[in-house]
Every structure is written in structure tokens, then in C-alpha cells.
Copies of this chain bind each other. A is one copy, B any other.
Amino acid sequence: MPINSFDDYPLSWRPDKTKLTRPLYKSLTKLMEEDILSSKLQKNTRLPSQRELADYLDINFTTVGQAYKYGVEIGLLYTNIGSGTFVSQNALNSITISNDKVQEHIIDFGLVSSFEECNRFVIPHLEAASRNVNIASQLNYQDPLGSPHQLAIAQQWLLTQGITTNVENIATVSGVQNGLTIILMALFSPGDRIAVDRYTYSNFIELAALLHLEIVLIDFDSEGMIPDLLAKECKKKKIDGIFFMPSCNNPIGFQMSDSRRQELADIIEQERLWVIEDDIHAFLTTYSQNKVLPSFQSLLPNQTLYLAGMTKFLCSGLRVAYLVFPDSVRSLIKKACFNTNVKTSGFDASVISHILSSSTVQEILVEKYRLTKAANELFDYYFDLPRPSNDLPYYRIIPIDPAVTQGQIENDFLAKGIRLYHSNRFTTMEQKDPFIRIALSSNCLDVLDQGLAIIQKVLPAYQ
């Protein structure tokens, strides 16, 4: 019997004691999942503390801890020492962003594409590659990380982005997301922790959850992640890696300042974190600002895994990215590559190389720069909001009323033919400054114009 009577004691969750079977912790986890699913337990509610619930159930508090821990692992719960355990914002609803099941006739401001009209530049290269006399050598298992020729071209391109490396330190992977999978599988184990910006790329959050890695949110300002907060968090718990999109954070659009990069690098070096640097926006930033920003790969070459995506840059349907890794992890990275992909499509890799060594690169850069500039100006016309510190992002955010739920705003707009995403998708716990993210690069300019006009008209009801 419990020592105290809980009849009047306010517990935010009272699992049905009679349903509790052995093993206790599994049974408790199951009850919790059921109650979250049936909304008996609401999102963001605080669960009873481990000791309270244990007392109520008359079991040891660490057993409750075990049950809660599983919930944290699969992203159902999050905990804060001192303040308690909470049901996640995104418990049981997927925040994965993809182009799956888009309704017809919808304006998609959700998934960030890259001005797909530019794919016309790619088509001649497809034909050229398919007529290449050496193409047969791309259709077999040879050179699983890329041919020497392809890697040499990649190395040259990387140099223009401030990444100095050797062909032995580059692996061709099937897009950035695939590269992230390889890095996380190769260098981390279940339960490891990775620090990220308080708002970050949803699919990174989802991938980490799939691999049972814990995400640690660190706050940022306009110059990027705040070094002191990172240092503090590192002291608090063991953190193993850190994920950045330094040129242009997704969804906020901030660009890390040079000094901030250095400050963060110092802490990262001391704490020996692996840096996962997803520089998907670098191609445009380097071009538009006409200067190379100091990459973490250049600041901390021995602990940085750098991903140069070719999908947003050249073509999203050809799945290619280059993964730059330090010598120390070569065999781990290779192993993960071979065991997840075997190899990246030889044809895709050769088309991308063909483009990279042609003048098409410049044409695409000029055109994407023009379109991005125009799209941002269009956004500025409709909304009086400051540009983020990267002033040519592919997406912009608009603050909304904290009382409006994610489902409400996303579904209401979907009903009006517009897909956009609530800030909840880009984080793991409740935040004080909700917003919606509008992708600017996923439609041609007149459709963008149309869509923004609708948003401008409808949005005030949510602000």
C-alpha cells in the first residue's frame, strides 16, 4: 500500500493501477503510450515526477525513471532536471518533411525545393552523360565512393567553398540526408547526445530519433548558437556531437558570424565534439556575398564532418552530396557508406561531375541568385519583417499567436490550398516564440506572389 493516500492529491496522470503488470517498466511505458494516443495525456503536460508516481504506484522511483527514459528515447517525452518530465510537442505525430502525398493544386510552401525550373540546365548533361563512351564503367560496383576523376572535380568545387581536402577524404553519398544518416550511424551510438540550434532542420531531428540519439537544444541569437549556453550544457551532460547549418540556419535563416564560429570552435575543440556541418546553402552565400565564410571544416578539420549537397545547388532529383571526413574516421565512414548504400548511383555522380566541370554551374548560380533575390523582395513587399542575418534565405518566418496550435494553422491553410509549416516542426519542446515558415524557393515567382497574397490576407487572424 502506498504510504500516502492519493485520493485528493492532484496527479497530472493517474495510470490505471489495476492494469499494471510485470515487467513494471514496460507495462508503464505502454500505459503512457496509450494515454498519449487517446489524448488522455495532452501534449506538453507535465507528468508526475518520478518519485510522486512511484509513490502512487508503490514502486521504486527508478523504475518510473526507466519507463520515462524509453519515452524520451523515442521522442515522446522530454525532461528537464529540476522542472520535470513533459509530453513532447510532437509526440506521435510525424514532423518529417517530404513531398509525399501533396494534394493536387496546392501551393507548397512547406518542403524547401530549389527553384526547380532551373532543372532545364541539367537535361543536356543527362544526355551527354548517357552518350559518354565511359558510361559503362559507371554502371557497375566500381569506385563506390566516386571515381578518382569525379572526386577530383568535387575537390576543386569544395576548394571554392573554402574546404581544403584530399580526394581520399571525400565520399560521394546520395544526398545530404543520406550523408547525415551515414555520419550518425558511423560515429554515434544509441543514447548519445547531439547539440543543435533551438530551432533546426526537422529531418535531422527525426533522423536522430530513428537512431535513438538525443537532441540537446541550445539557444541562438542573430550571430548563431550562443557559446556560453553550449559550454554550460556540455558541463551538464555528456554531449557527443553538434549539428550546424552555418551559412543559413533552417528555419531561422541566421548566418553564423566569423567571430561566433571561432568562439564555438574553441568550446567544441575542448569538449571534443564531432561537428556535423551541413552547408547546403553555402553555394549561394559564397556567390552572393562574394566571400568564403570560415567553415568548421577549416577551423577544426580533425573533428568535422562536412556535407556539400548538390541537390539544392544543382538538381534535387539526382541524389548526390559530398561528404568530407578526417582521416581518423575513414574506415568508420566507409563502413557506414557501404552498409547503407553500397554505392551512390554511378550515373547520378557522373552527371553531377559533368555539370560541376562545365559553365552550367555559373548559369545556375546566376539564375538561382536572381530568383532568390526576387522571391525575398516579394516577401518583403507583403510582409514588413526584418531579413535574417543571411539576407538571401530560401525561406522566411512569420511570428504567430502562441495560442494557435500547429494542427490548427497548418490545416486551415491546407484547406485554403497552401501548405506551410509551424515552428513546432523544427524543435522538440515548447517554445515561446512560435512562427510559420514559408519556403520561397519551391514555386515559380508568380505562384509565390499568389500564395503570399493569400497568406497576407488570412494570417492576421492567427497573429
Cα separation A317 to B210 with both chains bound (whole Å): 28
21 intermolecular pairs with C-beta atoms under 8 Å apart: A96-B338, A98-B334, A111-B141, A123-B139, A126-B129, A126-B135, A130-B130, A139-B318, A174-B345, A175-B341, A175-B342, A177-B342, A181-B339, A181-B340, A190-B212, A203-B338, A317-B347, A318-B346, A340-B340, A345-B347, A347-B351
Cα separation A340 to B336 with both chains bound (whole Å): 12
> What residues on B are CB-neighbors of A315 within 8 Å?
139
> What residues on B are CB-neighbors of A122 within 8 Å?
139
In the complex, the answer to whether B139 meets A96 with C-beta atoms within 8 Å is no
In the complex, the answer to whether B96 meets A116 with C-beta atoms within 8 Å is no
> What residues on B are CB-neighbors of A136 within 8 Å?
119-120, 123
| A18 close to B (CB within 8 Å) | no
In the complex, the answer to whether A131 meets B127 with C-beta atoms within 8 Å is yes
Q: How many residues of A contact B (CB 8 A)?
A: 65
| A94 close to B (CB within 8 Å) | yes
* Complex interface bits, A128-167 against B, C-beta within 8 A gives 1, otherwise 0: 0111000110111111110000000000000000000000
Knowing A178-B341, A342-B175, say if A113 contacts B141 (CB, 8 Å).
yes
In the complex, the answer to whether B334 meets A100 with C-beta atoms within 8 Å is yes
| A31 close to B (CB within 8 Å) | no
Given A98-B144, A100-B334, list of 12 further CB < 8 A pairs? A96-B339, A97-B338, A119-B139, A123-B136, A127-B127, A129-B130, A174-B178, A177-B339, A177-B341, A210-B339, A318-B347, A319-B341
In the complex, the answer to whether B127 meets A139 with C-beta atoms within 8 Å is no
